């Protein structure tokens, strides 16, 4: 097959003759233009899936571009972006095709209305072709556009409203859609559970950094929601995304014939919990012996859910419908014509902004934790590796790429975070009459750092290890040491990679930018158009799925916040998957980016062990031994811990 050009922005116009005949396709073109598209709404996902299927069937790259060009003018704008992006990710002849950041394409879902209005005014004031770098012209965006310190939740607005965090959430659901056209994705349900659990752990650490309680699960739907939120976003027709005042109560959502009832969600929750305790799902028209047995992967599929979930009609659509009800909570029966666009919880690109996103997902995560509590703890032999000793892990606050010997004076037990700034050009997502209009966004960042791992191999043979690195706060909000019951759900996966271990003692290094969890800032449309590669970023093809590298570590505090680093080595021979590429040092596919959260595109997940291992199952100690991390690692030579401190610096950089 003919390969695609390397960069989407450089593709030339094509002849518009196409195999697409819109008149014979009543299933597409249903969604009205300028309406916000949502993957949580089944009718919109059905049309989006039909368009994806059509684009996937284009016989070659040129036909694909012709078909896309025809469809662009016919379809809802956001639905088209979604379908085209999905097709580009999954077509073999578009492998490696770099797509522009979604926050430069659908800017209304990422930048506040007042900023867009100010940008239009700036463009009108300036002469044609003028730049925006003159003093006083720069549009600054911080978290203060959605609230102030009267609201305690505002302390972590910088995290929830980070454009790269919201872009990550959009990309994850792009790679792992829920409609029936989706081909089977390896461990998709487990990834849904684990990626969102990691977002919760990361957010909890951020809350503790800002002297807030950890997230409380939204379990009792009859009580008012104390936290409110106002997004200050608008859709393509200028309608505001609905604010959610404090103390609203979840209500049945009824718009036309599409009604969702709160008791229905309660019934689905009860049925899922019953299935967990039974150990199997009741399947339609099956005898008991033919029922599907429960595991974390099919539980994730059932909770999210999709039409391919176990007995979808019986176990329902809990996660997605919860998003829809919370989106409509301010006008559930649409008496004020607010159902479109509704609240930000109705859209994957915007949901993370709302504090209720994390409370809702804490409830969802609680269902997975009920399942984990039915599992037996790992046996000692499932946690140890005889002959391998993890002797030490040190930190150096410098980035070593390519990895080399660090400077001894950079060794530290303290990492530093700060607020950074970055320019984003808005002119590709809104018409500024040919002018480039930029905004300057603030975001949390950190100084780069490097791990130095010292390992002794006494097996008399070279070994290949999987190196697993986690981080968690040392203390909870009561300033008590976190025990293993808490640690399991609070640990943040920092990295996971393979490493050759020669016999004897060896030291190897790993830079923070190499993390299997994160991706760097995506290349902008301007860079793609100019054919420039950002030399400060790794040479990879972005699929866009991955946690933002600038948010790898929590903010910490000005005085310093204590964290515990945990490192574990396991035998790669036991972990490897037959078609995995993750042990290779380089991979041409974007699929290798951030594999911990996103898997590998069109491949099996590159680790046989359960996601989050060894913290996926309950961890206990026989009484009266305290159930602490220190006691957990006793006698397990393949594990070690190190206490470190994260300090927030009151400085602002500007890239």
Each domain of the chain, given as residue ranges in start order, spans 8-96, 143-372, 380-426+437-652
Supply the Cα-derived Rg of the chain in whole angstroms: 25
pLDDT digits (tens, 9 = 90+) for 571-608: 999 999 986 544 433 344 444 457 899 988 778 999 99
Higher-confidence residue of 137 and 57: namely 57
Return the higher-pLDDT residue of 135 and 570.
Answer: 570
CA dihedral defined by 263, 265, 266, 271, rounded to 10 degrees?
A: 130
- The residue among 346, 111, 29 whose CA lies nearest residue 338 is 346
**72-100 mean pLDDT:** 92
Q: Is the dihedral of CA 571, 575, 578, 583 positive or negative?
A: negative
According to DSSP, the β-strands at 450-457 and 438-446 are unpaired
Confidence class of residue 157 from pLDDT cuts 50, 70 and 90?
A: very high
Query: What's the CA gap between 349 and 173, in Å, rounded?
Result: 9
Give the alpha-carbon dihedral of 149, 352, 354, 513, to 10 degrees.
-10
pLDDT at 136: 40
Residue 565: beta bridge partners? 471, 642
Q: Is the pLDDT of residue 175 over 80?
A: yes
- pLDDT recorded at residue 13: 46
- Residues annotated as catalytic are 304
Q: Which residue has the tokens 């203390």?
A: 475
**To 10 degrees, what angle do helices 355-372 and 188-209 make?**
120
- Own/partner long-range contacts of 420-423 (Cβ < 8 Å, ≥24 apart): 420/444, 420/445, 420/550, 420/652, 420/653, 420/654, 420/655, 421/140, 421/652, 421/653, 421/654, 421/655, 422/521, 422/655, 423/655
pLDDT at 536: 44
Name the pLDDT band for 272 (thresholds 50, 70, 90). Answer: very high
Q: Residue 435's pLDDT is what?
A: 75
The architecture (CATH level 2) of 8-96 comes to Up-down Bundle (1.20)
3-state secondary structure 369-394: HHHHCCCCCCCHHHCCCCCEEEEEEE
pLDDT-wise least confident of 418-432, 577-591, 628-642: 577-591
| pLDDT attached to residue 523 | 59
Cα end-to-end span (Å), the chain: 40
- pLDDT range class, residue 527, cuts 50, 70, 90: low
- The mean-pLDDT minimum among 248-257, 330-339, 506-515 falls in 248-257
What pLDDT, on the 0 to 100 scale, is given for residue 135? 39
Q: Is pLDDT above 50 for 342?
A: yes
Residue 382 pLDDT level (bands cut at 50, 70, 90): very high
Average pLDDT of the chain?
Answer: 88
C-alpha–C-alpha distance, residues 581 and 607, integer Å: 10
Half-sphere exposure of 339 (CA within 13 A, CB side): 15
> What CA–CA distance (Å, rounded) separates 625 from 409?
39
pLDDT of residue 532: 54
CATH number of 380-426+437-652: 2.60.40.1520
Alpha-carbon distance values, 62 to 22, 46, 94, 98, 372 (Å): 19, 26, 11, 17, 49
Pick the residue with more confidence: 57 or 651? 57
pLDDT the model gives residue 10? 43
CATH T-level assignment (fold) for domain 143-372: di-copper center containing domain from catechol oxidase (1.10.1280)
Tell me how far the alpha carbon of residue 531 is from its chain's centroid.
Answer: 28
Task: Kindly state the tokens that stand for 648.
Answer: 């927030």
**347-356 CB burial, b ≥16 within 10 A, e <16:** bbbbbbbbbb
Give the model confidence (pLDDT) of 46-72 as tens digits: 999 999 999 999 999 999 999 999 999
What angle is formed at CA 426 by the lines to CA 420 and CA 429, rounded to 5 degrees?
Answer: 135
Secondary structure (3-state) at 447: coil
- Please check the confidence at residue 210 and state whether its pLDDT lies above 50: yes
Nearest alpha carbon to residue 606 among 590, 597, 595, 616: 595
- Burial bucket for residue 296 (CB in 10 Å: 0-12, 13-18, 19+): buried
pLDDT tens per residue across span 442-500: 999 999 999 999 999 999 999 999 999 999 999 999 999 999 999 999 999 999 999 99
Q: Among the ranges 10-19, 21-30, 614-623, which has the highest mean pLDDT value? A: 614-623
The CA angle 367-178-167, to the nearest 5 degrees, is 90
SS (H, E, C) 199-262: HHHHHHHHHHHCCCCCCCCCCCCCCCECCCECCCCECCCCCECCCECCCECCCCEEECCEEECH
Lowest-pLDDT range of 323-337, 404-418, 636-650: 404-418
Percent of the chain with pLDDT over 70: 86
| Confidence at residue 168, expressed as pLDDT on a 0 to 100 scale | 95
* pLDDT at position 403 over 70: no
């Amino acid at each position: 097959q003919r390969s695609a050009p390397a960069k989407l922005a450089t593709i030339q116009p094509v002849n518009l003759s196409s195999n697409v005949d819109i008149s014979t396709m009543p299933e597409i073109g249903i969604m009205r233009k300028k309406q916000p598209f949502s993957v949580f709404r089944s009718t919109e996902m059905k049309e989006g899936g039909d368009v994806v299927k059509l684009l996937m069937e284009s016989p070659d790259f040129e036909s694909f571009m012709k078909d896309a060009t025809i469809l662009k003018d016919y379809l809802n704008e956001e639905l088209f972006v979604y379908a085209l992006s999905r097709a580009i990710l999954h077509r073999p002849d578009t492998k490696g095709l770099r797509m522009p950041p979604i926050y430069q394409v659908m800017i209304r879902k990422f930048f506040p209305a007042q900023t867009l209005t100010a940008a239009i005014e700036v463009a009108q004031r300036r002469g044609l072709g003028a730049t925006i770098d003159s003093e006083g012209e720069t549009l600054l965006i911080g978290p203060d556009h959605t609230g102030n310190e009267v609201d305690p939740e505002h302390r972590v607005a910088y995290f929830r409203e980070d454009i790269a965090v919201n872009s990550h959430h959009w990309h994850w659901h792009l790679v792992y859609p829920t409609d029936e056209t989706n081909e089977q994705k390896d461990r998709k349900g487990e990834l849904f559970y684990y990626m969102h659990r990691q977002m919760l752990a990361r957010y909890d650490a951020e809350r503790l950094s800002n002297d807030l309680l950890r997230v409380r699960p939204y379990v009792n739907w009859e009580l008012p929601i104390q936290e409110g939120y106002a997004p200050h976003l608008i859709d393509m027709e200028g309608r505001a995304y609905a604010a959610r005042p404090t103390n609203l109560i979840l209500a049945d959502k009824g718009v036309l014939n599409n009604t969702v009832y709160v008791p229905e969600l309660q019934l689905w929750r009860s049925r899922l919990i019953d299935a967990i305790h039974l150990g199997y799902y009741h399947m339609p028209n099956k005898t008991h012996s033919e029922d599907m047995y429960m595991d974390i992967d099919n539980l994730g599929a059932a909770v999210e859910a999709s039409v391919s979930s176990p007995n979808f009609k019986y176990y329902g659509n809990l996660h997605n419908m919860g998003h829809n009800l919370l989106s409509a909570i301010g006008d559930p029966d649409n008496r004020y014509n607010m159902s479109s666009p509704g609240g930000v919880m109705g859209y994957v690109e915007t949901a993370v902004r709302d504090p209720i996103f994390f409370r809702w997902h804490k409830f969802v995560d609680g269902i997975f934790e009920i399942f984990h509590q039915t599992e037996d703890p790992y046996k000692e032999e499932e946690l140890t590796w005889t002959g391998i000793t993890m002797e030490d892990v040190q930190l150096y606050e410098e980035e070593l790429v390519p990895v080399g010997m660090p400077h001894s004076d950079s060794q530290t037990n303290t990492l530093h975070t700060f607020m950074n700034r970055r320019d984003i050009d808005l002119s590709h997502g809104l018409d500024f009459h040919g002018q480039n209009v930029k905004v300057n966004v603030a975001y949390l960042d950190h100084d780069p750092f490097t791990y130095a791992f010292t390992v002794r191999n006494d097996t008399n043979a070279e070994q290949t290890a999987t190196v697993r690195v986690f981080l968690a706060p040392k203390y909870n909000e009561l300033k008590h040491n976190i025990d293993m019951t808490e640690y399991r759900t609070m640990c943040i996966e920092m990295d996971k990679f393979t490493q050759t271990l020669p016999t004897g003692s060896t030291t190897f290094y790993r830079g923070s930018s190499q993390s299997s969890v994160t991706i760097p800032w995506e290349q902008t449309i301007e860079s793609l158009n100019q054919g420039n590669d950002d030399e400060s970023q790794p040479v990879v093809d972005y699929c866009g799925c991955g946690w933002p590298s600038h948010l790898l570590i929590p903010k910490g505090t000005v005085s310093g916040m204590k964290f515990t680093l945990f490192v574990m080595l396991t035998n790669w021979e036991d972990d490897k998957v037959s078609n995995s590429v993750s042990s290779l040092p380089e991979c041409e596919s974007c699929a290798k980016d951030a594999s911990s959260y996103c898997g590998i595109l069109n491949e099996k997940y590159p680790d046989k062990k359960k996601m989050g291992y060894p913290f996926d199952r309950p961890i206990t100690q026989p009484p009266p031994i305290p159930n602490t991390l220190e006691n957990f690692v006793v006698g397990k030579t393949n594990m070690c811990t190190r206490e470190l401190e994260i300090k927030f610096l009151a400085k602002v950089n500007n890239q």
